[in-house]
Structure 1
Amino acid sequence: MGQTQQTENNEEMDVKALQDMYKKFVMECPSGLLFLHEFKRFFGVDATGEASDYAENMFRAFDKNGDNTIDFLEFVATLNLVFRGDLEHKLRWSFKVYDKDSNGYVDKNELRSIIDVSQIHYLYPNDLYTQISSFALDEVVNRILQAVDSDGDGQISMEEFIRGAQQDQWLLSLFKLGMNPAGWVLAQRRRSAHF
Protein backbone atom coordinates (compact mmCIF):
# COMPACT_ATOMS: atom_id res chain seq x y z
CA MET A 1 0.00 0.00 0.00
CA GLY A 2 2.85 2.39 0.85
CA GLN A 3 4.49 1.70 -2.51
CA THR A 4 1.31 2.49 -4.40
CA GLN A 5 0.99 5.79 -2.58
CA GLN A 6 4.64 6.61 -3.27
CA THR A 7 4.21 5.81 -6.97
CA GLU A 8 1.11 7.96 -7.15
CA ASN A 9 2.96 10.86 -5.45
CA ASN A 10 5.88 10.51 -7.86
CA GLU A 11 3.45 10.51 -10.80
CA GLU A 12 1.72 13.58 -9.38
CA MET A 13 5.08 15.30 -9.04
CA ASP A 14 5.95 14.34 -12.61
CA VAL A 15 2.62 15.69 -13.89
CA LYS A 16 3.16 18.94 -11.94
CA ALA A 17 6.71 19.25 -13.31
CA LEU A 18 5.44 18.64 -16.85
CA GLN A 19 2.66 21.19 -16.46
CA ASP A 20 5.14 23.78 -15.15
CA MET A 21 7.47 23.18 -18.07
CA TYR A 22 4.64 23.40 -20.61
CA LYS A 23 3.56 26.74 -19.12
CA LYS A 24 7.13 27.99 -19.18
CA PHE A 25 7.51 26.93 -22.82
CA VAL A 26 4.40 28.82 -23.87
CA MET A 27 5.44 31.93 -21.91
CA GLU A 28 9.06 31.99 -23.05
CA CYS A 29 8.47 30.84 -26.62
CA PRO A 30 5.30 32.48 -27.85
CA SER A 31 6.49 31.81 -31.42
CA GLY A 32 6.16 28.11 -30.65
CA LEU A 33 9.84 27.43 -31.47
CA LEU A 34 12.73 26.93 -29.09
CA PHE A 35 16.28 27.54 -30.38
CA LEU A 36 19.43 26.11 -28.78
CA HIS A 37 20.36 29.29 -26.87
CA GLU A 38 16.77 29.52 -25.57
CA PHE A 39 16.82 25.82 -24.65
CA LYS A 40 19.93 26.41 -22.53
CA ARG A 41 18.37 29.47 -20.90
CA PHE A 42 15.10 27.58 -20.41
CA PHE A 43 16.90 24.97 -18.28
CA GLY A 44 19.33 27.40 -16.63
CA VAL A 45 22.46 26.17 -18.42
CA ASP A 46 25.38 28.56 -18.87
CA ALA A 47 26.06 28.80 -22.62
CA THR A 48 29.79 28.25 -22.05
CA GLY A 49 29.65 26.16 -18.89
CA GLU A 50 30.41 22.49 -18.38
CA ALA A 51 26.80 21.43 -18.98
CA SER A 52 26.66 23.22 -22.34
CA ASP A 53 27.70 20.16 -24.39
CA TYR A 54 25.24 18.00 -22.49
CA ALA A 55 22.45 20.52 -23.16
CA GLU A 56 23.37 20.57 -26.86
CA ASN A 57 23.10 16.78 -27.01
CA MET A 58 19.74 16.89 -25.26
CA PHE A 59 18.57 19.64 -27.63
CA ARG A 60 19.49 17.48 -30.62
CA ALA A 61 17.58 14.54 -29.12
CA PHE A 62 14.50 16.74 -28.59
CA ASP A 63 14.73 18.06 -32.17
CA LYS A 64 13.13 15.08 -33.89
CA ASN A 65 12.96 16.58 -37.39
CA GLY A 66 16.50 18.03 -37.33
CA ASP A 67 15.52 21.63 -38.16
CA ASN A 68 17.59 23.10 -35.26
CA THR A 69 14.48 24.15 -33.38
CA ILE A 70 12.17 22.42 -30.95
CA ASP A 71 8.52 23.09 -31.56
CA PHE A 72 5.90 22.58 -28.90
CA LEU A 73 4.89 19.13 -30.20
CA GLU A 74 8.51 17.90 -30.13
CA PHE A 75 8.89 19.32 -26.64
CA VAL A 76 5.72 17.67 -25.33
CA ALA A 77 6.40 14.35 -27.05
CA THR A 78 9.94 14.13 -25.71
CA LEU A 79 9.06 15.13 -22.17
CA ASN A 80 6.23 12.62 -22.20
CA LEU A 81 8.65 9.95 -23.37
CA VAL A 82 11.37 10.70 -20.82
CA PHE A 83 8.95 10.99 -17.91
CA ARG A 84 6.53 8.23 -18.84
CA GLY A 85 8.02 6.05 -21.59
CA ASP A 86 8.96 2.41 -21.16
CA LEU A 87 12.58 1.38 -20.56
CA GLU A 88 13.42 0.60 -24.18
CA HIS A 89 12.10 3.97 -25.41
CA LYS A 90 14.06 5.80 -22.71
CA LEU A 91 17.21 3.92 -23.66
CA ARG A 92 16.67 4.74 -27.34
CA TRP A 93 16.33 8.41 -26.43
CA SER A 94 19.40 8.27 -24.18
CA PHE A 95 21.36 6.68 -27.03
CA LYS A 96 20.56 9.71 -29.18
CA VAL A 97 21.96 11.96 -26.47
CA TYR A 98 25.17 9.88 -26.31
CA ASP A 99 25.49 9.80 -30.13
CA LYS A 100 26.78 13.37 -30.51
CA ASP A 101 27.48 13.18 -34.23
CA SER A 102 24.23 11.31 -35.02
CA ASN A 103 26.02 8.62 -37.03
CA GLY A 104 24.13 5.78 -35.34
CA TYR A 105 27.07 4.71 -33.15
CA VAL A 106 28.56 5.82 -29.85
CA ASP A 107 32.35 5.77 -29.84
CA LYS A 108 34.90 6.05 -27.06
CA ASN A 109 35.15 9.86 -27.29
CA GLU A 110 31.38 10.32 -27.13
CA LEU A 111 31.16 8.03 -24.09
CA ARG A 112 34.04 9.86 -22.39
CA SER A 113 32.45 13.26 -23.05
CA ILE A 114 29.01 12.39 -21.69
CA ILE A 115 30.25 10.49 -18.65
CA ASP A 116 32.66 13.29 -17.79
CA VAL A 117 29.91 15.92 -17.89
CA SER A 118 27.57 13.63 -15.96
CA GLN A 119 30.14 13.12 -13.21
CA ILE A 120 30.82 16.83 -12.92
CA HIS A 121 27.15 17.57 -12.40
CA TYR A 122 26.47 14.62 -10.08
CA LEU A 123 23.73 13.29 -12.31
CA TYR A 124 24.18 9.81 -10.94
CA PRO A 125 22.61 8.54 -7.74
CA ASN A 126 25.05 8.70 -4.81
CA ASP A 127 26.02 5.02 -4.84
CA LEU A 128 26.66 4.96 -8.61
CA TYR A 129 28.55 8.26 -8.44
CA THR A 130 30.79 6.80 -5.71
CA GLN A 131 31.49 3.71 -7.83
CA ILE A 132 32.28 5.74 -10.94
CA SER A 133 34.40 8.37 -9.22
CA SER A 134 36.64 5.64 -7.78
CA PHE A 135 37.73 4.78 -11.36
CA ALA A 136 39.56 6.89 -13.89
CA LEU A 137 37.29 8.11 -16.67
CA ASP A 138 39.06 5.91 -19.23
CA GLU A 139 38.55 2.85 -17.02
CA VAL A 140 34.79 3.48 -16.94
CA VAL A 141 34.69 4.01 -20.71
CA ASN A 142 36.74 0.86 -21.35
CA ARG A 143 34.52 -1.17 -19.01
CA ILE A 144 31.44 0.00 -20.90
CA LEU A 145 32.96 -0.81 -24.31
CA GLN A 146 34.11 -4.22 -23.09
CA ALA A 147 30.65 -5.05 -21.78
CA VAL A 148 28.55 -3.62 -24.59
CA ASP A 149 30.56 -3.63 -27.83
CA SER A 150 29.70 -7.21 -28.80
CA ASP A 151 31.29 -7.07 -32.26
CA GLY A 152 34.49 -5.40 -30.97
CA ASP A 153 34.50 -2.61 -33.55
CA GLY A 154 35.10 0.15 -30.96
CA GLN A 155 31.61 1.56 -31.43
CA ILE A 156 28.29 0.87 -29.76
CA SER A 157 25.22 0.54 -31.95
CA MET A 158 21.77 1.31 -30.58
CA GLU A 159 21.02 -2.41 -30.38
CA GLU A 160 24.24 -3.07 -28.41
CA PHE A 161 23.46 -0.11 -26.13
CA ILE A 162 19.95 -1.37 -25.33
CA ARG A 163 20.97 -5.03 -25.01
CA GLY A 164 23.93 -4.12 -22.75
CA ALA A 165 21.78 -1.94 -20.51
CA GLN A 166 19.13 -4.64 -20.19
CA GLN A 167 21.71 -7.34 -19.32
CA ASP A 168 23.89 -5.43 -16.86
CA GLN A 169 22.38 -3.55 -13.90
CA TRP A 170 25.45 -1.31 -13.55
CA LEU A 171 25.19 -0.28 -17.21
CA LEU A 172 21.44 0.20 -16.92
CA SER A 173 22.01 2.56 -14.00
CA LEU A 174 24.69 4.39 -15.94
CA PHE A 175 22.77 4.66 -19.20
CA LYS A 176 19.33 5.27 -17.73
CA LEU A 177 20.16 7.31 -14.64
CA GLY A 178 23.43 8.90 -15.66
CA MET A 179 21.64 10.23 -18.70
CA ASN A 180 18.25 10.39 -17.08
CA PRO A 181 16.72 13.30 -18.94
CA ALA A 182 13.84 13.54 -16.52
CA GLY A 183 16.24 13.80 -13.60
CA TRP A 184 18.41 16.31 -15.43
CA VAL A 185 15.40 18.41 -16.38
CA LEU A 186 14.12 18.40 -12.78
CA ALA A 187 17.61 19.18 -11.40
CA GLN A 188 18.01 22.10 -13.81
CA ARG A 189 14.52 23.30 -12.94
CA ARG A 190 15.26 23.22 -9.19
CA ARG A 191 18.63 24.85 -9.75
CA SER A 192 17.22 27.73 -11.81
CA ALA A 193 14.44 28.27 -9.23
CA HIS A 194 17.11 29.01 -6.62
CA PHE A 195 18.74 31.76 -8.67
Structure 2
Amino acid sequence: MAEKTKTDKTTAKLSEDQLKELAIHNRFTLKEVKLMHEEFFKKYPTGKLDKKTYLGGDFTEKHKEKFCQMLFDHYDTNKDGFVDFKELFQIASVTQRGTHEEKMRYLFDFYDLNKDGYISEEEVVEMVDAMKPKDSPDEKDNNDDTKSVDTRASVKEALNKLGKKVDKKKISFEDFLQAASQGEFVILFLV
Protein backbone atom coordinates (compact mmCIF):
# COMPACT_ATOMS: atom_id res chain seq x y z
CA MET A 1 0.00 0.00 0.00
CA ALA A 2 1.27 3.51 -0.80
CA GLU A 3 2.26 5.76 2.05
CA LYS A 4 -0.28 8.27 3.29
CA THR A 5 0.43 11.98 2.91
CA LYS A 6 -0.42 14.62 5.47
CA THR A 7 -3.60 15.44 3.56
CA ASP A 8 -4.54 11.74 3.22
CA LYS A 9 -4.94 11.97 -0.55
CA THR A 10 -3.08 8.74 -1.27
CA THR A 11 -4.46 5.90 -3.33
CA ALA A 12 -3.22 2.38 -2.86
CA LYS A 13 -1.52 0.71 -5.76
CA LEU A 14 -3.75 -1.83 -7.41
CA SER A 15 -3.44 -5.51 -6.57
CA GLU A 16 -2.39 -8.15 -9.09
CA ASP A 17 -6.03 -9.25 -9.38
CA GLN A 18 -7.20 -5.67 -10.04
CA LEU A 19 -4.55 -5.24 -12.72
CA LYS A 20 -5.61 -8.54 -14.34
CA GLU A 21 -9.21 -7.38 -14.30
CA LEU A 22 -8.25 -4.13 -16.08
CA ALA A 23 -6.30 -6.09 -18.69
CA ILE A 24 -9.15 -8.53 -19.35
CA HIS A 25 -11.78 -5.82 -19.84
CA ASN A 26 -9.71 -3.22 -21.66
CA ARG A 27 -7.82 -4.86 -24.53
CA PHE A 28 -4.38 -4.54 -22.92
CA THR A 29 -2.02 -7.31 -21.86
CA LEU A 30 -1.27 -7.71 -18.18
CA LYS A 31 2.32 -6.68 -18.91
CA GLU A 32 1.13 -3.42 -20.52
CA VAL A 33 -1.22 -2.65 -17.62
CA LYS A 34 1.55 -3.28 -15.07
CA LEU A 35 3.94 -1.02 -16.96
CA MET A 36 1.40 1.81 -17.17
CA HIS A 37 0.53 1.35 -13.50
CA GLU A 38 4.20 1.50 -12.50
CA GLU A 39 4.82 4.61 -14.63
CA PHE A 40 1.75 6.34 -13.21
CA PHE A 41 2.91 5.79 -9.63
CA LYS A 42 6.43 6.95 -10.49
CA LYS A 43 5.04 10.20 -11.83
CA TYR A 44 2.30 10.57 -9.19
CA PRO A 45 3.49 8.84 -5.99
CA THR A 46 0.25 9.67 -4.19
CA GLY A 47 -1.63 7.71 -6.83
CA LYS A 48 -3.67 10.74 -7.83
CA LEU A 49 -3.23 13.61 -10.22
CA ASP A 50 -4.74 16.79 -8.82
CA LYS A 51 -6.09 19.65 -10.93
CA LYS A 52 -3.39 22.09 -9.83
CA THR A 53 -0.61 19.72 -10.97
CA TYR A 54 -2.43 18.98 -14.22
CA LEU A 55 -3.00 22.67 -14.97
CA GLY A 56 0.66 23.40 -14.26
CA GLY A 57 1.93 20.89 -16.82
CA ASP A 58 3.48 21.37 -20.25
CA PHE A 59 0.16 20.86 -22.03
CA THR A 60 -1.38 23.96 -20.45
CA GLU A 61 1.46 26.19 -21.62
CA LYS A 62 0.08 25.90 -25.17
CA HIS A 63 -3.64 25.64 -24.44
CA LYS A 64 -6.16 27.77 -22.64
CA GLU A 65 -6.74 27.01 -18.99
CA LYS A 66 -10.48 26.63 -19.65
CA PHE A 67 -9.89 23.79 -22.12
CA CYS A 68 -7.46 22.09 -19.76
CA GLN A 69 -10.00 22.34 -16.94
CA MET A 70 -12.63 20.80 -19.23
CA LEU A 71 -10.29 17.91 -20.02
CA PHE A 72 -9.43 17.35 -16.37
CA ASP A 73 -13.10 17.41 -15.38
CA HIS A 74 -13.89 14.89 -18.11
CA TYR A 75 -11.09 12.59 -16.91
CA ASP A 76 -12.22 12.88 -13.28
CA THR A 77 -15.17 10.53 -13.72
CA ASN A 78 -15.92 10.12 -10.01
CA LYS A 79 -15.76 13.92 -9.49
CA ASP A 80 -13.48 13.76 -6.44
CA GLY A 81 -11.12 16.46 -7.75
CA PHE A 82 -8.39 13.96 -8.70
CA VAL A 83 -7.59 11.65 -11.59
CA ASP A 84 -6.44 8.25 -10.40
CA PHE A 85 -4.88 5.40 -12.35
CA LYS A 86 -8.16 3.66 -13.14
CA GLU A 87 -9.66 6.86 -14.54
CA LEU A 88 -6.61 7.58 -16.67
CA PHE A 89 -6.42 3.96 -17.76
CA GLN A 90 -10.04 4.01 -18.93
CA ILE A 91 -9.22 6.99 -21.16
CA ALA A 92 -6.19 5.19 -22.60
CA SER A 93 -8.27 2.09 -23.13
CA VAL A 94 -10.87 3.91 -25.20
CA THR A 95 -8.55 6.25 -27.09
CA GLN A 96 -5.88 3.66 -27.85
CA ARG A 97 -7.76 0.37 -28.14
CA GLY A 98 -11.43 1.23 -28.26
CA THR A 99 -13.78 0.46 -31.10
CA HIS A 100 -14.82 3.23 -33.46
CA GLU A 101 -18.14 3.55 -31.64
CA GLU A 102 -16.45 3.71 -28.20
CA LYS A 103 -14.13 6.46 -29.41
CA MET A 104 -17.05 8.40 -30.86
CA ARG A 105 -18.99 7.98 -27.60
CA TYR A 106 -16.01 9.31 -25.66
CA LEU A 107 -15.72 12.33 -27.97
CA PHE A 108 -19.48 12.91 -27.90
CA ASP A 109 -19.56 12.78 -24.11
CA PHE A 110 -16.67 15.25 -23.95
CA TYR A 111 -18.59 17.79 -26.09
CA ASP A 112 -21.87 17.18 -24.23
CA LEU A 113 -21.00 19.69 -21.54
CA ASN A 114 -24.37 19.70 -19.77
CA LYS A 115 -24.68 15.89 -20.03
CA ASP A 116 -28.21 15.98 -21.48
CA GLY A 117 -27.44 13.41 -24.18
CA TYR A 118 -27.17 15.97 -26.98
CA ILE A 119 -24.50 18.29 -28.32
CA SER A 120 -25.88 21.76 -28.84
CA GLU A 121 -24.57 24.56 -30.98
CA GLU A 122 -23.66 26.43 -27.78
CA GLU A 123 -21.60 23.50 -26.49
CA VAL A 124 -19.70 23.20 -29.75
CA VAL A 125 -18.99 26.95 -29.80
CA GLU A 126 -17.75 26.80 -26.20
CA MET A 127 -15.51 23.81 -26.91
CA VAL A 128 -14.09 25.20 -30.15
CA ASP A 129 -13.29 28.53 -28.48
CA ALA A 130 -11.70 26.74 -25.54
CA MET A 131 -9.63 24.42 -27.74
CA LYS A 132 -7.92 27.11 -29.78
CA PRO A 133 -4.25 27.26 -28.75
CA LYS A 134 -3.15 30.43 -26.98
CA ASP A 135 -0.84 31.34 -29.85
CA SER A 136 -3.27 30.71 -32.72
CA PRO A 137 -3.85 33.62 -35.14
CA ASP A 138 -7.53 33.71 -34.10
CA GLU A 139 -6.53 34.29 -30.49
CA LYS A 140 -4.01 37.03 -31.25
CA ASP A 141 -5.84 39.04 -33.89
CA ASN A 142 -9.44 39.18 -32.70
CA ASN A 143 -11.24 40.43 -29.65
CA ASP A 144 -13.51 38.06 -27.71
CA ASP A 145 -16.70 39.27 -29.42
CA THR A 146 -15.28 38.74 -32.91
CA LYS A 147 -13.93 35.29 -32.01
CA SER A 148 -17.31 34.19 -30.70
CA VAL A 149 -19.15 35.43 -33.80
CA ASP A 150 -16.61 33.76 -36.12
CA THR A 151 -16.79 30.50 -34.18
CA ARG A 152 -20.60 30.55 -34.12
CA ALA A 153 -20.77 31.10 -37.89
CA SER A 154 -18.33 28.22 -38.49
CA VAL A 155 -20.32 25.92 -36.20
CA LYS A 156 -23.62 26.78 -37.89
CA GLU A 157 -22.07 26.13 -41.29
CA ALA A 158 -20.70 22.78 -40.08
CA LEU A 159 -24.08 21.80 -38.60
CA ASN A 160 -25.76 22.68 -41.89
CA LYS A 161 -23.24 20.51 -43.75
CA LEU A 162 -24.25 17.66 -41.50
CA GLY A 163 -27.81 18.18 -42.68
CA LYS A 164 -29.07 19.50 -39.37
CA LYS A 165 -31.68 22.24 -39.36
CA VAL A 166 -30.29 25.33 -37.70
CA ASP A 167 -33.42 25.69 -35.56
CA LYS A 168 -32.91 22.19 -34.11
CA LYS A 169 -29.44 23.12 -32.82
CA LYS A 170 -28.80 19.73 -31.18
CA ILE A 171 -27.11 16.53 -32.26
CA SER A 172 -27.94 13.16 -30.73
CA PHE A 173 -25.32 10.47 -30.34
CA GLU A 174 -26.94 8.55 -33.19
CA ASP A 175 -26.62 11.62 -35.49
CA PHE A 176 -23.04 12.09 -34.35
CA LEU A 177 -22.15 8.45 -34.93
CA GLN A 178 -23.75 8.45 -38.39
CA ALA A 179 -21.86 11.61 -39.36
CA ALA A 180 -18.63 10.14 -38.00
CA SER A 181 -19.08 6.97 -40.03
CA GLN A 182 -19.39 9.13 -43.13
CA GLY A 183 -16.31 11.16 -42.18
CA GLU A 184 -18.39 14.29 -41.66
CA PHE A 185 -17.71 14.77 -37.95
CA VAL A 186 -14.29 16.17 -38.87
CA ILE A 187 -16.03 19.14 -40.45
CA LEU A 188 -17.89 19.86 -37.24
CA PHE A 189 -15.15 19.32 -34.70
CA LEU A 190 -12.28 20.93 -36.54
CA VAL A 191 -14.02 24.22 -37.44
TM (norm. structure 2) is 0.60
The aligned counterpart of 1:84 is 97
Asked whether the 8 Å contact 1:60–1:66 carries over to 2, the reply is yes
Q: Which residue number corresponds to residue 109 of structure 2?
A: 96
1:163 aligns with 2:163: no
Offset of residue 153 of structure 1 = 2.7
Q: Distance in 2 between matches of 1:156 and 1:148?
A: 11
Kindly provide the CA deviation profile for residues 59-115 of structure 1, in whole angstroms up to 9, marking residues without a partner as x: 222222333321101111211211222221111111122122333222222211222
Asked if 2 retains the 8 angstrom alpha-carbon contact of 1:32 and 1:72, the reply is: yes
Over aligned residue pairs, what C-alpha RMSD do you find? 3.5
> Corresponding residue for 1:37?
52
Aligned pair partner of 1:137 in 145, 151, 161: 151
CA contact (8 A) 1:33 1:72 kept: yes
Cα gap change, 1:109 to 1:45, in 2 (>3 Å)? same
Q: 2:176 touches 2:185 (CA, 8 Å); kept in 1?
A: no
Query: For residues 1-195 of structure 1, what are the structure 2 equivalents within 5 Å?
Result: 23=39, 25-46=40-61, 50-120=63-133, 136-146=150-160, 147=162, 149=164, 153-167=168-182, 169-172=183-186, 175=189, 178=190
Rate the CA distance shift 1:26–1:38 in 2: closer, same or farther, 3 A. same
Higher relative contact order (CA closer than 8 Å, sequence separation 6+): 1
Please tell me the residue identity of whatever aligns with 1:63: D
Contact kept, 8 Å, 1:104 with 1:158, in 2: the verdict is: yes
Following TM superposition, by how much is the alpha carbon of 1:121 offset from its aligned partner in structure 2, in angstroms? 6.3
Aligned residues: 145
Higher relative helix content: 1
Superposed CA deviations along residues 107-132 of structure 1, whole A, max 9, x for unmatched, are 22221122234343699xxxxxxxxx
Counterpart residue type for residue 174 of structure 2 = E
Larger radius of gyration: 2
Contact 2:117 2:173 in 1 (8 A): yes
Aligned sequence identity (%): 23
Q: Unpaired runs of 5+ in structure 1?
A: 1-15, 124-135, 179-195
Matches of 1:159 and 1:74, distance apart in 2: 25
Q: 1:58 to 1:22 in 2, by over 3 A?
A: farther
